[in-house]
Chain A
Amino acid sequence: MSFWLLIPILLPIAAGAALPAVTGGKRGRLQVYVAAVVAANTVIALAIANAGYAGLRVLEITPVINLFLRTDDLARFFLVLASLLWLAVTFYAFAYIEREAKDAAFFRFFLMSYGAVAGAAMSGNLFTLYLFYELITLLTYPLVVYSGTPAAMKAGVKYLMYSFFGAGLALVAFVFVAHFGVTTDFTPGGVLDRALLAGNEGLLPFMFLLAFLGLGVKAYIWPLFDWVPASYPLAPAPAAALFSGVVSKVAVLAIIRTTFYLFGADFIFGTWVQTALIAITMFTVFSGSMLAYKEKLFARRLAYSSVSQLSYVLFGIILLNPLAFLGALLHVVFHGIIKTALFLCAGAVSRKTGKTYVYELRGIGKAMPITMWCFTLAALALVGIPPTGGFISKWHLAMGGITSNHPTLGFVGAGMLMVSAMLTAGYLVSIFAAAFFPGHNYDYKKLVNTEPGKLMTVPLIILAALAILPGMFPASLIEYINGIANVIIQ
């Protein structure tokens, strides 16, 4: 029994619960405490990932209802991504939350969410996944409503409503799986039993649609992304960054688990639900980019951008072929890094200058060169300019689309990725172009350097570098993901 698998879950949750008692409201002590916990937890998570496969089953109430943690390839993949991003955001958050009085509240839930995310990443069966998935919703809710304004409160409620509604939809499908599956432990290739299923095959695509859309709420799928533009601009930047960078990826993980480990690609392949979901994800890709292009509020533009980018990933998953799956998981990594960086940049700008609208950002690159350079590099990566990471993932997604079992739809999908990339360039290039080229009459004498401190810039620089360097040398990453894909897609 590998009880140490519980550490990355329980440590942050316990540490978060004990946070006010330990730190006693002193900021210095709080920062050391949080940094120590997050760093320790990240090290443990990396050690667990490094140790290879392990499994732990506790609280076995029934064969379905029990807590099962295990670290297969996919779990380790998400665990590493989540813990690295969490670590980067933590230091940034110290600088960002600095001026607020309620920092203990923020960091308490910040830590506890970390535990829940680690739990979701390592979950080995349906019940565990669902448990941590709901836990993430609850523990991240305070991060959304953190500013305490009525607008934030309402956005928080909207977030809760959509999340629980989605989880409710997914739960229906999970009951279906529990009923017709031989087990609810995640099994490559799926758990559904054809003999048990006989007579109810017609129900399967419908149930899969419920699961996909339900879990897709947190991955911003149409028509359930309406909470995203409402809540992200009101959440503090580190929280928005983690939502877009990590929490949405947990939803992706849940969808991958559902698609390939519960329903099984064979059952979905070629059914109407695959066609429908390809169309829906394609539309979401377009819709998110289009709305981002039209949006003037910086953080909301990035939120809409996430809507679009997450559907790249979902598009790659639902194509059900190894090439697209490779693209999807690469995009999970790169979008996680890139969007975290972008949200952190937007946060740094609004924190240091109070500017939240994109048309206020003229000349900001002169005042905050490091921040805006990081923004520029991350933005180019998101557009998919080679040799950045965004290019590699987009290439595999589009090739996956063209070679899929739906050649026409896949072809249109690949075209949609291009249209979306064009719009992405439209809404991001305009920002950094105005930031660095303020116009010949820009008054350089009035220029005040508002560059944030090292707590903010160092994570930004690291994230910007990570958006580019793995794009140049992705061989081991591709090999790892292909290892996963070979097991689950035949």
Chain B
Amino acid sequence: MTFSGNPSLLVLVFWPIIGAVAGYIVGRFNKNYRDYFASFVAATTFLGIAAIALTSWPANLPYFEWSAFMGFRMYFRLDGFRVVYGVIAAFMWMATTIFAREYFAHYRNRNRYTFFSMITFGATLGVFFSADLLTTFLFFEIMSFASYVLVVHDEKPATIDAARTYVAVAVIGGLSLLFGIFIISHTLQTTEIAMLYSAIQAYEGDPGILYLAGAFLLVGFGGKAGMYPLHIWLPNAHPVAPAPASALLSGILTKAGVFGIIIIGALIFNRNFGWGVLMVSIGGAGMITGAMLALFSTDLKRTLAYSSVSQIGFIILGVGMQAIIDPYYTSLAVHGTMLHMVNHSLIKLLLFMLAGVVMMNTHELNLNKIRGFGRGKPLFTFAFLMGTMSIIGVPFWSGYVSKTLLHETLVYHVWQFQYYSWWSSYFTIMEVLFTLTGGLTTAYMIKIFVCLCVEKNPVCQAKMAGYNKRYLSRTSSAVILVCALLMPALGLIPYRFMIPIAAMAQDFMLMTVPAYEINFLAWISLRGALASIFIGSIIYALIVRVCLMSKDEHGHMVYIYAWPSYLDIERKIYRPLLAVALPFAGALVARSVGSLLPAAAAKTFRGFNLFRAFWIRENEAAQIAADKEQAEHKTHAELAHIAQAAHILNMRFSGDFFKVVFSSLAYSLLVFFIGFAIVQIVVFTG
């Protein structure tokens, strides 16, 4: 067991885990101190990462290696990408732990929540700092299982059901990931992330096996990332999880999955056109499907969850474009991917905390019940508006920068491939989808913004107004305000704040050429955003107001859930297949083949009661009844005779004991002699 490198990385990862244990003990005595302590741990981690990054940037970023850990090693490394994500993770935990104090005021099991939240924090940092796929996997699994506790927290039936989906995706994804790592480790002889690229260059074997490995890794990381079509846990888990947990799940845990998808895309399949097209297609399908479902949803957090699916589709599209795009423009894809990740983390942190504000006051998430909540609450309305502007991608808000960069990658492709008609039309379709998704994003965000902050609640607006001025504590207000102000602050001058953040990540994604600068205020850039907003407004006016609302029995216009249930891939495909069909088929095979020998024995030795033992199967009910009666089993005379050996338990070597011994030995010898005879015959005659 030897350490090398800078142990402060190890300390940073384990500090929240130690903090979890310490906080749990503190929490047994004083709940307030426990909450302060959790925030303190998050804040110190934040400062720690920032301090290490600032002192070592850029030349001597630290690494840490604990060799022989688990028989392999624990290997961390800091680079620009990891610094950014470490800082964001710590910031998110800081914000949510402060907010959780108010949110959880009336919950049970808060000690448990804080404990596992901190474990998840440490594990998430471990994933982002990991420089070896095995270390990634180690923390990835810890993160999955610890966050399960966060999802299941309120233990309602729907929650437990959603948590089951969550853990199923986590387990299946985790094992798929592990299998991918097996293949990578076997074919490339390395699992060190930074070495993957050079190992691939030197690899001369069958590329098919690498695609297989990539597919397994993609399922593993994609499941966590919420990648379509493995996104099924998001819309289930988010509405039922506590809001601080939803913010973390959507904002940062999915990014741990995206981190892996970037590893596959940028390091294993660097500039692999086929892989790029696959990613672009998956991303495209995800972004449009997620946005459609978000538009139809009538549950605030479910809308946000589908929105995450959609936004992660954008990110994955960006990862795909990194492989496809002309090297000269690589920076568009790399910077777009990174910035969209950062934006999505921060936006979802804000929006889910706001959903939490609604939830902790009204205990409802259904749009019809929470309508008008934001009226007369300027802070809430302002914060929600900031999140909305940013996610829509209105110019001067942060979302605009990343969306524009991603959009440009597609635009350049339509142009670049103009002589190859097939690919040109592919990218044209993608570009249209992109703009359309932008429109849908606008529409669903307007839908929930209007619902919350503009419309009056036709039933109980007085109740909603009753929350005014006392709906949020001062500390939480401050946290939400800071998060809200980040949106315009980052987006206002892209080249001052956002592009430098993106530039920090470019080494990780193997970008070698100088950045291609675009003018965010040029018409060509603005055009895409404005088109999306325009389309979105039309969709909102024509579809949401007309098709997705109708009059209820009291004559009020209400939001209706119009998504056809047969399009639910979880209930219609995954669950029937994985929970019913496959286990049934598997058990059928296992049982029928497994009972071959007993069945054959039963056929062959029918009538030989002594051999009955081979195929006896107890009927459960009969067995319990028999146990109760303690009755002698008359039907199997021989067996009952041996059964008398029960008396040996009363500890005298009675005659029956010797009967058992002798009959057993005689039986053994019988088998032996039959076998012996066969051997002798074969050997000496053959």
Q: Does A154 contact B (CB under 8 A)?
A: yes
| Cβ-neighbour of B171 out of A149, A422, A438 (below 8 A) | A422
When distances are taken between beta carbons in the complex, the residues of chain A under 8 Å from B678 are: 172
| Cβ-neighbour of A433 out of B167, B598, B631 (below 8 A) | B167
Whole-angstrom distance between the Cβ of A214 and the nearest chain B Cβ: 9
Q: Does B50 contact A (CB under 8 A)?
A: no
Q: Tell me whether A134 and B668 are in contact (CB under 8 A).
A: yes
- Distance of A224 Cα from B614 Cα, bound (Å): 9
Q: Does A141 contact B (CB under 8 A)?
A: yes
Q: Which of A43-51, A70-78, A285-293 contacts B (4 or more CB under 8 A)?
A: A285-293
- Distance of A224 Cα from B597 Cα, bound (Å): 7
- Distance of A444 Cα from B109 Cα, bound (Å): 12
Q: Tell me whether B1 and A473 are in contact (CB under 8 A).
A: yes
Quick one: given A171-B672, A203-B682, are A142 and B648 in contact (CB under 8 Å)? yes
Q: Tell me whether A105 and B650 are in contact (CB under 8 A).
A: yes
- Distance of A160 Cα from B661 Cα, bound (Å): 10
When distances are taken between beta carbons in the complex, the residues of chain A under 8 Å from B611 are: 161
Q: Does B587 contact A (CB under 8 A)?
A: yes
Q: Tell me whether A440 and B618 are in contact (CB under 8 A).
A: no
When distances are taken between beta carbons in the complex, the residues of chain B under 8 Å from A473 are: 1, 68-69
- Distance of A176 Cα from B684 Cα, bound (Å): 12
Quick one: given A226-B594, A439-B157, are A168 and B675 in contact (CB under 8 Å)? yes
**CB nearest neighbor in B for A387:** B70
Q: Tell me whether B642 and A157 are in contact (CB under 8 A).
A: yes
Q: Does B154 contact A (CB under 8 A)?
A: yes
Q: Tell me whether B618 and A230 are in contact (CB under 8 A).
A: yes
| Cβ-neighbour of A105 out of B596, B649, B668 (below 8 A) | B649
Q: Tell me whether A291 and B633 are in contact (CB under 8 A).
A: no
Q: Does B391 contact A (CB under 8 A)?
A: no
- Distance of A167 Cα from B668 Cα, bound (Å): 7
Interface string of A133-158 (1 = CB under 8 A from B): 01001100110011011110110111
When distances are taken between beta carbons in the complex, the residues of chain A under 8 Å from B639 are: 153-154, 157
B contacts with A, residue count (CB < 8 A): 89
Q: Does B655 contact A (CB under 8 A)?
A: no
Q: Tell me whether A387 and B651 are in contact (CB under 8 A).
A: no
Q: Which of A1-9, A244-252, A265-273, A395-403 contacts B (4 or more CB under 8 A)?
A: A395-403
Q: Tell me whether B185 and A399 are in contact (CB under 8 A).
A: yes
Q: Does A386 contact B (CB under 8 A)?
A: yes
When distances are taken between beta carbons in the complex, the residues of chain A under 8 Å from B646 are: 145, 148, 153
| Cβ-neighbour of A154 out of B155, B633, B686 (below 8 A) | B633
Q: Does B555 contact A (CB under 8 A)?
A: no
Interface string of B597-617 (1 = CB under 8 A from A): 110000000000001011111
| Cβ-neighbour of B1 out of A175, A226, A414, A475 (below 8 A) | A475
Whole-angstrom distance between the Cβ of A389 and the nearest chain B Cβ: 10
Whole-angstrom distance between the Cβ of B351 and the nearest chain A Cβ: 26
| Cβ-neighbour of A158 out of B145, B159, B616, B648 (below 8 A) | B616
Q: Does A64 contact B (CB under 8 A)?
A: no
**CB nearest neighbor in B for A134:** B668
When distances are taken between beta carbons in the complex, the residues of chain A under 8 Å from B633 are: 150, 153-154
When distances are taken between beta carbons in the complex, the residues of chain B under 8 Å from A176 are: 679
Whole-angstrom distance between the Cβ of A362 and the nearest chain B Cβ: 10
Q: Does B667 contact A (CB under 8 A)?
A: yes
Q: Does B53 contact A (CB under 8 A)?
A: no
- A286-302: which have CB < 8 Å to B? 286-288, 290-291, 293-294, 297
- Distance of A169 Cα from B682 Cα, bound (Å): 16
Q: Does B543 contact A (CB under 8 A)?
A: no
When distances are taken between beta carbons in the complex, the residues of chain B under 8 Å from A373 are: none
Please provide the 6 A-B residue pairs with the shortest distance between their CB atoms, ordered closest to farther: A168-B671, A172-B675, A153-B643, A223-B597, A287-B590, A105-B649
**What are 8 pairs between A and B in contact, CB < 8 Å?**
A20-B651, A102-B649, A138-B661, A160-B660, A164-B664, A168-B675, A222-B594, A472-B69
Q: Known A-B contacts: A150-B643, A156-B643, A222-B593. Give 15 more (CB < 8 A).
A: A104-B651, A145-B643, A153-B640, A154-B613, A164-B667, A164-B668, A171-B676, A175-B676, A226-B598, A297-B620, A414-B179, A418-B179, A422-B172, A437-B155, A437-B160
